[in-house]
Structure 1
């Protein structure tokens, strides 16, 4: 099965073109490095995300391809993710901060998600693609980089230029070769 040529979301009503075009590919263009300006813009977009009480309970570990840090992050990924993530330009470890000097931060996971959403939108504006992964060993990653409480590795984000999904190995190409689908808005609404 070949990859669909149009990956735009088939929305019920028009949405911003960057949002409609965004999709989480596993295909990254090999050998492409992020520019300093791209990295700065991605992190700046995340920095300005909203957070409860402006606590900004997120920290990031950026590992660029062909560095020791990249290899260390890559080794903590589940084997299936390692197969395709090795082509990404960078792996960003998104770390939430579950507490600060005032105490526990109950919305830290939500706020970190907003920061990554902002980063994802900026990546789309930069012509980049982002794929988030839950398939990694958080304890191993924390140990590898000496991340101690209240820092919690929450997701690993592969970033780079989109590649050709036709070049993905069959074992990892599933989502890139399937039609995009989402639940209908009515299915998402809770009707009292």
Structure 2
């Protein structure tokens, strides 16, 4: 990339290139790292993120998803930030809010919780789409120290910290490392439907 390309603004929208139109919440969702340090999330918006997560479907309505969350400026925000990987710590300090997604993996009888991780994934996706509806951006991360999160927040053994989520407003490329600037400006791509959806026999495309 040239120096001129690095002066480009982070795109406010990276609409998905789809074979048929999708709902804007889906088509417009993307995961920037360039977040605005001045963006704040109001009480209603913040509550709405987790209300959306609460109403995600789950196996047998077991509701295995839990979250540890805080807004920038709160002590818990800094504690969550401290559990993130070094690469994620570099940009998430500008987030308006951070959360750790935790899945229940053992049920009340001491047996493995069916589909606990799947339930957390559904709840996290609800949260992310609600962020889009609120005019915000959300970025989910695997780059975190699960053991550190467990110790920092006293997570019980039957629960597993699994992901972190940063939520905020769109910022600029100023001060971002070159490798992250490239990611912010890179087009969004996905495998074609022909590689993902089959019919009759494995590998035979439906679309």
Give the alignment's TM-score, normalised by structure 1: 0.93
1:24 and 2:31 are equivalent in the alignment: yes
Q: Is the 8 A contact 1:47 1:115 kept in 2?
A: yes
SS of alignment partner, residue 22 of structure 1:
coil
1:113 and 2:126 are equivalent in the alignment: no
Q: Is the 8 A contact 2:140 2:165 kept in 1?
A: yes
Correspondence for 1:42: 49
- Following TM superposition, by how much is the alpha carbon of 1:152 offset from its aligned partner in structure 2, in angstroms? 0.7
1:64 and 2:56 are equivalent in the alignment: no
Compared with structure 1, are the counterparts of its residues 165 and 16 closer, same or farther at alpha carbon in structure 2 (3 Å cutoff)? farther
SS of alignment partner, residue 180 of structure 2:
coil
RMSD (Å), alpha carbons? 1.6
Q: Which runs of 5+ in 1 are unaligned?
A: none
- Following TM superposition, by how much is the alpha carbon of 1:15 offset from its aligned partner in structure 2, in angstroms? 0.5
Distance 2:93 2:181 in 1: 14
Q: Which runs of 5+ in 2 are unaligned?
A: 203-207
- Following TM superposition, by how much is the alpha carbon of 1:151 offset from its aligned partner in structure 2, in angstroms? 1.3
Choose which of 130, 139, 143 in structure 2 pairs with 1:131: 139
Give the alignment's TM-score, normalised by structure 2: 0.87
Q: Is the 8 A contact 1:95 1:151 kept in 2?
A: yes
Equivalent residue pairs, number: 192
Q: Is the 8 A contact 2:10 2:173 kept in 1?
A: no
- Following TM superposition, by how much is the alpha carbon of 1:3 offset from its aligned partner in structure 2, in angstroms? 5.7
Correspondence for 2:62: 55
Choose which of 75, 80, 101 in structure 1 pairs with 2:87: 80
Bigger relative CO (Cα 8 Å, ≥ 6 apart) = 1
Correspondence for 2:18: 11
Q: Which has the larger radius of gyration?
A: 2
